[in-house]
Amino acid sequence: MAMWVFGYGSLVWNPGFAHDARLVGFVRDYRRVFYQGSTDHRGTPEFPGRTVTLEHQPGATCWGVAYKISTEQDKQTALEHLEVREKQYDEKIYLDLYTDSSPKTPAVKNVMVQIYLAEGPSGPNKEYLFKLEDALNKIGVVDPHVQDLANAVRKYPDTAVSC
């Protein structure tokens, strides 16, 4: 049986594991928010960066990308990769994935979603934000929260903030 993993942050543009299929879709009753401090991948303990997490909100939808992993070896490798990459996650949950904006039945049931405290490869926090914005735009998703943050960050030149 195949395993599906849902990405709503850096997994949208950089899954980092082998997969057989990629499906754009959304989960219900959760929204993507830049509320998590990242002291390991996108910041330091003295100056934490911000990464996305999912927040339960009835009626909300969060668009992203689900990855299908079929072979046992690829599943094991993906899980090991995610355990290291998402080492501070709070929990794994399993949600239904929808691909149609007014669906009656899910496209995939029980997609694994990691809700965690930090994600993504090392690099500037604004890079994470802009890559997420770009990846969402490429799959036809405009997330107002991500868009508003990206637009706000663009207003400041690199020299406006110093550490």
- 114 versus 19: the higher-pLDDT residue is 19
SS3 percent helix, strand, coil of the chain, rounded to 5, is: 30, 40, 35
Task: Look at residues 35, 28, 34 and name the one whose alpha carbon lies nearest to residue 60.
Answer: 28
Determine the pLDDT at residue 163.
35
Q: What is the mean pLDDT of the chain?
A: 82
Q: Which two tokens stand for residue 121?
A: 């490869």
Q: Domain-by-domain residue ranges, the chain?
A: 3-123
* β partners of residue 97: 108
The residue count for the chain: 163
118-142 pLDDT per residue, tens:
333 456 777 888 899 999 999 999 9
Which CATH number applies to 3-123?
Answer: 3.10.490.10
Strand order in the sheet with 49-69: 21-38, 49-69, 3-7, 108-116, 89-97
The b/e string for 4-30 (b: 16+ C-beta within 10 A; e otherwise) is bbbbbbbbbbebebebeeebbbbbbeb
The structure's pTM equals 0.75
Determine the pLDDT at residue 93.
81
What are the catalytic residues?
86
